[in-house]
Amino acid sequence: MNIRIFDTTLRDGEQSPGVSLSPEKKLNIAKKLDQLGVDAIETGFPVISDGEKEGVKLIVGEGLKAELCGLARTNKKDIDAAVDCGLNYIHTFIATSDIHLEHKLKMTRDEALEKAIEAVEYGKSRGLQVEFSAEDATRTDREFLKKVFGAVANAGADRIDIPDTVGYSTPQYIGEITKDAIEVSKLPISVHCHNDFGLAVANAISGVQAGASCAHVTINGIGERAGNASLEEFVMALHSLEFENKWETNINTKLIYETSRYISKLAGMSVQPNKAIVGENAFGHESGIHTHGVLNNPLTYEPISPEIVGRTRWLQVGKHAGIHGMNAMLKEYGIEPNEDQTKQILDKVKALGDQGKQVTEVELLSMANEVIGENKLKRIVQLAGFSVSTGVGTMPYAFVKLNVDGQEFSATDYGVGPVDAALNAIQKITSQVTDEVRLKEYKLDSISGGANALCEVTVKVEDARGNIISSKSVGEDIVTTSVQAMVDGINRIMLKTLLKEKKI
C-alpha cells in the first residue's frame, strides 16, 4: 500500500521560532521537495501576509508535480486568499477541544461545528479539494470529534486530518481515533503529529497501522515547539521496519540527506548530531567493537545502508578506538603501518582521548607520520598565497591563490569578516575543480595568553557525497590559521576521494 506524504515544511515548519522564509526561498524549498517525491506540499498560509501570498503564487506558477495546498481557517476570507493565489486545494481547520473552544475561540461546540460545515461547503462551492482538520483533536471529547468528522464528510470534505496539535497522544489512542474517523467519514484519513513528548513519528506510524493513508510531516522534523513528525524518520521506518502490512512511499530516499542539508541551511536550523537518519553521527562509529563489526558486515551496527539515504559512513578514533577502525581510516589516505607501528599509533590515540580531547583526522595522521617517520600524504591542494582587506565602511574581501595538483587557480570573494571572505574564496576555487566542498563547522579557540597568544582553528568540511573531514591548525594570526586549516581539510577530503576511486 502506498502512503501519501503531505509535507508541511513550508507552513508548519516555518512556524518554528526563528525561521522566516522569503518567497524565493520558499520556492527553492518547494522545488527540492518536489524532486524528493512528496505527494503534497502545504505551500503556506496565504492570508497572513503579502509576502506569504507572493511565495505561494511563485510555487503555484512553477508547474510542480506535487499537489499544492494552502492553509485556511474556517472563514471565507482565508479560503478566498488561497483561491486568489491559484490554489485548488485547501487545508481548513478549527479547534474542537474544550480548552481551545473556551479559552481561545470563545465558542460552544455547536458554533464550532457550524463553522466547520460552512467552511467545507464554501470551499467546495469554489471548486476546491478540501481537507478538514479538527485542531487539538487528540484532546477533544471523542464522541464530539466523531460528530465533527461525520458532519464535515456529509458537507463534502475530501479528506479528514487528525492533528495531535500539542503532541499529547499515545500511539494507542491515535490509532483508536483514526479508526473512529474512518468509520464515521468513510474518507481518506491523514495524521498530523507533533513531537512534544518525542512520539510524533511513533504516533504517525500508529495512525497508518490503524488505516490512515497519509501523514503530515516536515524535513528534519522542524516545526513549532518540539517540531513535527520527521519526514526522513517516518519514511525510512515505513520502508525498512517489519510491519504486518507492507507500505511504500513515492520518496526518492537517496535525496533525503541532500534535502535535509539544503533546508537546514535555508531555514537556519542546525540538525542535532544524533538526529536519526540525517544527523552527523547517524552513520558514524568510534567504538572498536562497533567499527570492527561494521568493517566486517555493516549490518552488525547499522540498521540500513547509509547510501540508501544519500549518506556515507565514517569512522572516528578516540579512547574507544580499536586497531581495525584506525587502520581502515589510515588506509583511506594510503597509509598502512606494520603491527608494531599500529600499536604505537593506537597508544597515542588512546592517550589523547583519555585527556578528554577529540582526536581529529589531522591528529591521527600526524601521529602516524611521527611513528612511521615519514610523511606519506600526497598534497593535492597547496596554498600559493592570499591577501585580505577589511575596514570600516567597506565589506571585507579576500584574494586567494591555490595550487591544485600542479595547476594554479585564484579567486576573490566577500564575507562578513576577513576569515569568512578568505574561506569563501577558497570554496569558490575548489568548486571549479571538484565536486562541492563546503565548510560545515568552524571553531576558534585561544590556547595561550598575552600579546603573542596562539589560536587554534578546527574546521569540518563536507563534500557532495556526504564525506566529512576535520582539520586543525595552530598559529598567531587568525586569518592565516583559518586558511591553513581549510586548505588542509580540503586536501584530505579530495585525497580520500581520489584514493577511494583509485585515481591515484
* Confidence (pLDDT) at 392: 83
Q: At a CB cut-off of 8 Å and minimum separation 6, what does 199 contact?
A: 167, 169, 170, 171, 193
Are 263 and 158 within one domain? yes
Are 390 and 366 within one domain? no
Strand partners, 415: none
Q: Look up the CATH number of the domain holding residue 404.
A: 3.30.160.270
Question: How many CB atoms sit inside 10 A of residue 360's CB?
Answer: 20
**Measured distance CA(17)–CA(224) in Å, rounded:** 7
The tally of domains found in the chain comes to: 3
The answer to whether position 105 is within a domain reads yes
Question: How many CB atoms sit inside 10 A of residue 501's CB?
Answer: 8
Supply 355's cell numbers: 585527556
Are 156 and 13 within one domain? yes
**Measured distance CA(292)–CA(387) in Å, rounded:** 46
Which of 339, 372, 405 terminates a domain? The answer is 372
Residue among 353, 354, 486 nearest 421 (CA) = 486
**Measured distance CA(499)–CA(478) in Å, rounded:** 32
Which of 240, 267, 294 terminates a domain? The answer is 267
Q: Which residue has the cell 495512525?
A: 207
Are 359 and 421 within one domain? no
* Confidence (pLDDT) at 299: 75
The answer to whether position 176 is within a domain reads yes
**Measured distance CA(37)–CA(34) in Å, rounded:** 5
Q: Look up the CATH number of the domain holding residue 289.
A: 1.10.238
**Measured distance CA(87)–CA(128) in Å, rounded:** 8
The answer to whether position 275 is within a domain reads no
pLDDT string in tens for the chain (504-residue length): 899 999 999 999 999 998 999 999 999 999 999 999 999 999 999 999 999 999 999 999 999 999 999 999 999 999 999 999 999 999 999 999 999 999 999 999 999 999 999 999 999 999 999 999 999 999 999 999 999 999 999 999 999 999 999 999 999 999 999 999 999 999 999 999 999 999 999 999 999 999 999 999 999 999 999 999 999 999 999 999 989 889 999 999 999 999 999 999 899 999 998 999 999 888 876 565 666 576 677 777 788 988 999 987 766 677 677 777 788 888 877 788 898 988 888 888 888 778 776 676 767 877 888 888 755 556 788 899 999 998 888 899 999 999 988 889 999 999 999 999 999 999 999 888 777 788 888 888 876 666 667 888 888 888 877 778 888 888 889 999 999 999 988 888 887 777 666 555
Burial class of residue 93 (count of CB atoms within 10 Å of its CB; 0-12, 13-18, 19+): buried
**Measured distance CA(329)–CA(199) in Å, rounded:** 37
Are 233 and 171 within one domain? yes
Are 33 and 166 within one domain? yes
Q: Please state whether beta strands 129-135 and 314-315 pair in parallel, antiparallel, or not at all (unpaired).
A: unpaired
Are 20 and 76 within one domain? yes
What does the buried/exposed string (b/e) look like for 445-462 if buried means 16 or more CB atoms within 10 Å of the residue's CB? eeeeeeeeeebbbbbbbb
Which of 211, 242, 267 terminates a domain? The answer is 267
**Measured distance CA(342)–CA(350) in Å, rounded:** 12
CB of 422 closer than 8 Å to CB of 388: yes
* Confidence (pLDDT) at 393: 80
* Confidence (pLDDT) at 287: 60
Are 362 and 423 within one domain? no
The answer to whether position 292 is within a domain reads yes
Torsions phi, psi for 30 (to 5 deg): -60, -40
The answer to whether position 482 is within a domain reads yes
* Confidence (pLDDT) at 504: 54
The answer to whether position 277 is within a domain reads no
Would you mind telling me the total number of residues written for the chain in this entry?
Answer: 504
Are 258 and 359 within one domain? no
**Measured distance CA(349)–CA(361) in Å, rounded:** 11
Q: Look up the CATH number of the domain holding residue 115.
A: 3.20.20.70
Are 250 and 310 within one domain? no
* Confidence (pLDDT) at 131: 98
Are 301 and 402 within one domain? no
3-state helix, strand, coil in the chain (%, to 5): 45, 20, 30
* Confidence (pLDDT) at 417: 92
Domain coverage including residue 434: 381-500
The answer to whether position 81 is within a domain reads yes
The answer to whether position 276 is within a domain reads no
Are 402 and 307 within one domain? no
Strand partners, 4: 214
